[in-house]
């Protein structure tokens, strides 16, 4: 069991919930310095040792940040920071759990791509096209996959939802291994993925959200089905 995450129902867990409530209620704002450990423990009626463990756990989770010589501060509470622990879970997932993560990615990626089709600027569309062209210009698996990741990051950024982008960034980079294995093991996989990316780009260029949604879902679905086959599912 991860020692940085206290068991539910402990005094430390109650301290964590109290600090989170203070942030949610606006009593502690992003970027604000916390009262001292002694002051906070007295204010909440919790022992200093439990408060210390609560602060440690919230620091690991990215909610709080220790600044040397200055104290403990509430972080900016941005999605990318707070979802870091989710990314670790995704990175360590194998087998059926990795398939579940691909299912989640398929749902979110198709939604993000549909939003991007309605919102993408000409400059960002040009960046997407640039990564597609780079994928088509090389047969090096590492270069293709690097531009694959960048292609999708440009699209999720164009969707304009930072939280969704942070989740998808974790899912996309953590499923990198599955795409690498597919590229090396399945003949014609890179040719297929180029076609799928071209379909996504055409839908974005046409500013067609439903076509973009369908193209993105089909693209991730191909990887998902390949992985199911590898697992005998």
126 and 176 co-located in one domain: yes
**CATH code for the domain in which residue 157 is found:** 1.20.120.530
pLDDT of amino acid 27: 94
73 and 43 co-located in one domain: yes
pLDDT of amino acid 1: 39
**CATH code for the domain in which residue 38 is found:** 1.10.10.10
**In terms of residue numbers, what domain contains 210?**
82-230
pLDDT of amino acid 64: 93
User: Is residue 191 one of the residues assigned to a domain?
Assistant: yes
Q: Can you tell me the distance from the alpha carbon of 128 to that of 30, in angstroms, rounded to the nearest whole number?
A: 33
pLDDT of amino acid 227: 84
Backbone angles phi, psi at 74, to 5 degrees: -70, 135
67 and 88 co-located in one domain: no
Nearest to 146 by CA among 190, 91, 102: 190
66 and 100 co-located in one domain: no
Q: Can you tell me the distance from the alpha carbon of 151 to that of 113, in angstroms, rounded to the nearest whole number?
A: 11
pLDDT of amino acid 186: 76
pLDDT of amino acid 29: 94
Angstrom distances, CA of residue 90 to CA of 29, 163, 212, 213, 221: 30, 16, 26, 23, 18
96 and 114 co-located in one domain: yes
pLDDT of amino acid 5: 45
48 and 124 co-located in one domain: no
pLDDT of amino acid 175: 65
34 and 137 co-located in one domain: no
pLDDT of amino acid 46: 92
pLDDT beneath 70, residues of the chain:
1-9, 85, 174-181, 183-184, 233
Query: How many structural domains comprise the chain?
Result: 2
pLDDT of amino acid 176: 67
User: Is residue 137 one of the residues assigned to a domain?
Assistant: yes
∠ CA(75), CA(79), CA(83), 5° rounding? 100
């Amino acid at each position: 069991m991860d020692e940085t995450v206290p068991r539910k129902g402990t005094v430390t867990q109650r301290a964590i919930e109290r600090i989170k409530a203070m942030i949610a209620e606006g009593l502690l704002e992003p970027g604000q310095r916390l009262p001292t450990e002694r002051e906070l423990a007295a204010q909440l009626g919790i022992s200093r040792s439990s408060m210390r463990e609560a602060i440690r756990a919230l620091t690991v989770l990215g909610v709080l940040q220790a600044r040397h010589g200055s104290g403990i501060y509430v972080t900016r509470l941005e999605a990318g920071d707070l979802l870091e622990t989710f990314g670790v879970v995704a990175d360590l997932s194998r087998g059926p759990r990795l398939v579940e993560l691909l299912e989640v990615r398929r749902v979110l990626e198709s939604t993000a791509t549909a939003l991007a089709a309605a919102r993408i600027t000409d400059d960002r569309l040009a960046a997407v096209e640039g990564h597609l062209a780079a994928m088509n210009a090389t047969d090096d698996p590492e270069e293709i996959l690097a531009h694959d990741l960048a292609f999708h990051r440009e699209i999720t950024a164009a969707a304009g939802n930072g939280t969704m982008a942070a989740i998808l960034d974790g899912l996309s980079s953590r499923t990198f291994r599955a795409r690498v294995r597919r590229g090396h093991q399945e003949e014609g996989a890179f040719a297929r993925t180029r076609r799928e990316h071209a379909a996504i780009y055409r839908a974005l260029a046409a500013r067609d959200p439903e076509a973009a949604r369908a193209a993105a879902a089909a693209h991730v679905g191909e990887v998902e089905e390949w992985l199911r086959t590898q697992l005998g599912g």
